[in-house]
Amino acid sequence: MFRLLIALDNKRIMTNNKHYKQPTSVLVVIYNNNQQILLLERADKPGYWQSVTGSQEPDETLEQTAIRELAEETGIHSSTINNWHQSSIFEIYPHWRHRYAPGVTHNTEHVFSLCIAADTPIYLAPREHLRYVWCSLEQAIEQVFSPSNRAALLQLPQHW
């Protein structure tokens, strides 16, 4: 017998006893005091460059998610992250939909930013990212694969 249960208690989505990512995430644009942008290359999709991203966990605020993802993906620990109070909804790429509950096709992404010193060490999570690069805003806009990441980068000068 096939049993399907979708529970939204504390924003946790469970179907057939499998936990899925919830379709609420953060995007954290990191830049340094020289106005260079930090980009990360995805380990699961080499050639795909992005800012820090990640899904909200149960019982986390968006700010907590941004701070956690920042630390996990770059080794940067900061609580002075800038919440833009801005979000966008986008269609989840088909090759990543298996991470979400059946029928989930869209994600709401909330934008944050952080300015760090140019000499701040970056420690990548090797399961998530292959390498990082500092580049100009124009290069970053051209390099990122995600339209929502590109849109945030275009707005970044308003948040320097």
Query: Closest Cα to residue 7, out of 136, 101, 94?
Result: 101
Tell me the average pLDDT of the chain: 89
Chain centroid, CA 89 distance in Å? 13
Single-letter residue type at 135 = C
Query: Closest Cα to residue 29, out of 56, 52, 55, 62?
Result: 52
Three-state secondary structure string covering 103-118: CCCEEEEEEEEEEECC
pLDDT at 18: 66
pLDDT at 9: 37
pLDDT at 79: 87
